[in-house]
Amino acid sequence: MELVTEALNGNRYALARLISRVEDGGADARVSLAALYPHTGQAHIVGVTGAPGTGKSTLVNELTKSLRSQGTTVGVVAVDPSSPFTGGALLGDRVRMRDLAGDPGVFIRSMATRGSLGGLARATADVVKVLDAAGFAVVLVETVGAGQAEVDIARTAHTTIVIEAPGLGDEVQALKAGLMEIADVLVVNKADRPGAAQTARALEMVINRNAVHGTDNNVWRPPILKTIALDGSGIPEVLAAVAAHREYLRTGGAWVERERIRIETELRNVLQQELLDRLLARVGEEQIQAWVARIVAREVDVYTVVQAILGA
Amino acid sequence: MELVTEALNGNRYALARLISRVEDGGADARVSLAALYPHTGQAHIVGVTGAPGTGKSTLVNELTKSLRSQGTTVGVVAVDPSSPFTGGALLGDRVRMRDLAGDPGVFIRSMATRGSLGGLARATADVVKVLDAAGFAVVLVETVGAGQAEVDIARTAHTTIVIEAPGLGDEVQALKAGLMEIADVLVVNKADRPGAAQTARALEMVINRNAVHGTDNNVWRPPILKTIALDGSGIPEVLAAVAAHREYLRTGGAWVERERIRIETELRNVLQQELLDRLLARVGEEQIQAWVARIVAREVDVYTVVQAILGA
């Protein structure tokens, strides 16, 4: 409990240890999370997502620097698709954050995958809670956004920035459709490259198509902004759009609605994991392996086994 | 049941309907899957994964054409990260498969995401079973491979091909680490582009590092092959490597071990979903929403609620 108190009082070493504890999960993590949970709910959680090659990390870096120059404290959670085998660090990625090191108003954490997807989503949500409780005004959650997992994690933010870049080919363009649905702010990064105007027009077409489907009378129309993250061009405009989206959520009642959806998803995920853990503890590993062997032998199929284990 | 019999007897219309039924899930799907399951276990399931921009779909197309020219039947399951809102079809992607249309030895199916990740993994596994039971000798499962979800789906294959391409930037390179662990065959596509030799060397370095970690005495060393999918260069070599990997799995006993891991993962996933469905049916939507409201109000945290619902 002392660790929670110290972390909430601004002790960075305690904060780092608390985050590690929370990432690891288990009973200690639960006790800590229960203690810090009443302190959450203050941060503006901003998802930043985009396909590989869009310059996402550089943009997150610039957004962080710009927020800091306004005096806003920033937590960054980078969800890292690389494996534990590399130590969980993106090659050179965090190096770009070096100019932020030593600033007590910034805390950066890379999340390595922890075996299961559910595990990563759970750990990410819990680390965001710690940074929120520790008083960081904005928490940026950076995800690759090319797979459903990343989309699901980004969906838990209050505001989601989706980044595009010109010239990434057909497949990347196709990925947009899934991301567009969760985009609150659209950024065409690398806007000095050929094709930037075309990329922006393509995004506008999708936005217009979405607008036709809209039914709310308080509609947020995602702005399309151009940036060159490498030299900081367009960054203030992105932050202004993020702030405007926050206002829109706060005044229109959508803030609480997003919280509700996020928390309901989290509750289902945690319930599901706990149910399985308890079942496996009861059924026993030996029995599970015996069923697996029968399925491998094609004696019985997986759905029939599930009915047999749980009872019809 | 008639539908299953007809699909297994080569009626393509019945096969398409059966796949749709299986994708939708539910009681009908389960009955069909139980009936066809004894017919599975014959196909060589080959995952093909790579980051956006690597030319993955073109390569899958060429592999399919080349397998067909050898007389091998091929099922293709394309796991599509785009949303149901676009109709689930990758823009122009399946169009490239047009030259395969009308060939009864090929069946191509795009999977749209179905809301949840677990749902997509479940549906993909079930569609692969249908194509396996229907007698397709090779089933190619194409995934984007940039997120954990895609890695997890690719992991269920007997043989996994990981595709790279030169010049995709740092972030794409960083993604390799996670994919490299599951790669059985490595392909540097677009090998006529500048930087192809460098990309191959980088892959070799990672492979060498992995080899140090290897402990088996029957070790498969992933070959690194160069292709130009657009003109078919290198495709026969990829197919030869896939066939060699199949031999390695068959003779070394690893085939059954991979089946066991795949089936154990599937059993856990199906158990988890069924447990949650049953719990929610018992607890009731109203009660769940009441708990969510209390968590939103920061009166109680999610882990405490899960203990309260399930009992300590």
3-state secondary structure chain A: CHHHHHHHCCCHHHHHHHHHHHHHCCHHHHHHHHHHHHHCCCCEEEEEEECCCCCHHHHHHHHHHHHHHCCCCEEEEEEECCCHHHCCCCCCCHHHHHHHCCCCCEEEEEEECECEHHHHHHHHHHHHHHHHHCCCCEEEEEECCCCHHHHHHHHCCCEEEEEECCCCHHHHHHHHHHHHCCCCEEEECCCCCCCHHHHHHHHHHHHHHHHHHCCCCCCCCCCEEECECCCCECHHHHHHHHHHHHHHHHHHCHHHHHHHHHHHHHHHHHHHHHHHHHHHHHHCHHHHHHHHHHHHCCCCCHHHHHHHHHCC
Q: How far is A244 from chain B (nearest CA, A)?
A: 23
The residue to which tokens 């692969």 are assigned: B128
Least trusted range by pLDDT, from B93-102, B142-151, B259-268? B93-102
Q: How far apart are CA B137 and CA B125, in angstroms?
A: 16
- Which among A178, A267, A291 is the nearest to B302, CB-wise? A267
Q: Against a cut of 0.80, is the pTM above it?
A: no
| Chain B interface mutation, best of A153, A189, A275, A294, highest count of B Cβ atoms under 10 Å | A275
* pLDDT at residue A199 greater than cutoff 70: yes
Note whether B276 contacts A268, CB cutoff 8 Å: yes
Note whether A38 contacts B292, CB cutoff 8 Å: no
Confidence of residue A312 (pLDDT cuts 50, 70, 90): low
Note whether B298 contacts A274, CB cutoff 8 Å: no
Q: How far is B270 from chain A (nearest CA, A)?
A: 7
| CATH topology (fold) of A40-252 | Rossmann fold (3.40.50)
| Residues B226-239: tens digit of each pLDDT | 999 889 999 999 99
Q: Which two tokens stand for residue B127?
A: 């569609």
More confident residue, A24 or A139: A139
* pLDDT at residue A94 greater than cutoff 60: no
More confident residue, A101 or A305: A305
Least trusted range by pLDDT, from B1-15, B46-60, B101-115, B160-174? B160-174
Say what the pLDDT of residue B217 is. Answer: 57
* pLDDT at residue B76 greater than cutoff 50: yes
Confidence of residue A204 (pLDDT cuts 50, 70, 90): confident
* pLDDT at residue B83 greater than cutoff 70: no
Q: What is the mean pLDDT of chain A?
A: 83
Question: For B133-156, what is the mean pLDDT?
Answer: 77
Q: How far apart are CA B257 and CA B259, in angstroms?
A: 5
| Residues A217-231: tens digit of each pLDDT | 567 889 999 999 989
Note whether A147 contacts B152, CB cutoff 8 Å: no
| Residues A109-137: tens digit of each pLDDT | 888 655 555 677 788 889 999 999 999 99
Q: How far is B14 from chain A (nearest CA, A)?
A: 21
Q: What is the mean pLDDT of chain B?
A: 83
| Chain A interface mutation, best of B39, B54, B170, highest count of A Cβ atoms under 10 Å | B170
| Chain B interface mutation, best of A306, A307, A309, highest count of B Cβ atoms under 10 Å | A306
Q: Which of B274, B293, B256 is nearest to A292 (CA)?
A: B256
More confident residue, B183 or B145: B183
Say what the pLDDT of residue B119 is. Answer: 72
Note whether B178 contacts A34, CB cutoff 8 Å: no
Question: For A199-212, what is the mean pLDDT?
Answer: 74
| Residues A140-172: tens digit of each pLDDT | 998 875 555 566 666 678 999 988 888 765 444
Note whether B306 contacts A274, CB cutoff 8 Å: yes
Confidence of residue A309 (pLDDT cuts 50, 70, 90): very high
* pLDDT at residue B176 greater than cutoff 60: no
The residue to which tokens 């601004």 are assigned: A10
Note whether A264 contacts B293, CB cutoff 8 Å: no
Which helix H or strand E contains B21, and what residues bound it?
helix B12-24
Q: How far is A7 from chain B (nearest CA, A)?
A: 19
Least trusted range by pLDDT, from A200-204, A275-279, B130-134, B288-292? A200-204
Report ipTM (2 d.p.): 0.83
| Residues A221-260: tens digit of each pLDDT | 899 999 999 899 999 999 999 999 999 999 988 888 888 9
Nearest CA in chain A to B83: A178
> Side-chain half-sphere of A70: how many Cα atoms within 13 Å?
15
Residue B182, φ and ψ in degrees, nearest 5? -105, 0
In chain A, CATH 3.40.50.300 covers 40-252
